Amino acid sequence: MTGFSEAVNMTASELERWLDTDESKSVGQSDGGESVGHRSGRRIVDILGKKKADLTDADEEHMAKVVGYVHRHLAQRPSGDVEDTRWRYSLMNWGHDPLKP
């Protein structure tokens, strides 16, 4: 799957730690429960823990969804310092930290 390893620049352990934070849980679209992005982050952690040969079709579909989300969201970067913004927090839920070199 091209693009997933570029879109997801956080390690599984970095993403797991992030998903445990209040900031992570404070952003995203939700129907009263877990947000779509937070649920996606947990799925990404699972995918990152698999060998390529063990990926399912559903995993690959989710990987494509992640790539699309990250690319769309990066195009909407706000001006100024983004360190403590909902924009960055949302991206991080999807496995991408825009401040990571």
pLDDT by position in tens, the chain (length 101): 459 999 999 999 999 999 999 999 999 887 778 899 999 999 999 999 999 999 999 999 999 999 999 999 999 999 999 999 999 999 999 999 999 98
pLDDT of residue 54: 97
pLDDT of residue 1: 42
pLDDT of residue 33: 85
Of 55, 62, 56, nearest in space to 94 by CA? 62
Q: How far apart are CA 26 and CA 99, in angstroms?
A: 19
Give the pTM. 0.93
Question: Which tokens go with 91?
Answer: 């991206």
pLDDT of residue 32: 78
pLDDT of residue 67: 97
Phi, psi angle pair for 77, to nearest 5°: -55, 125
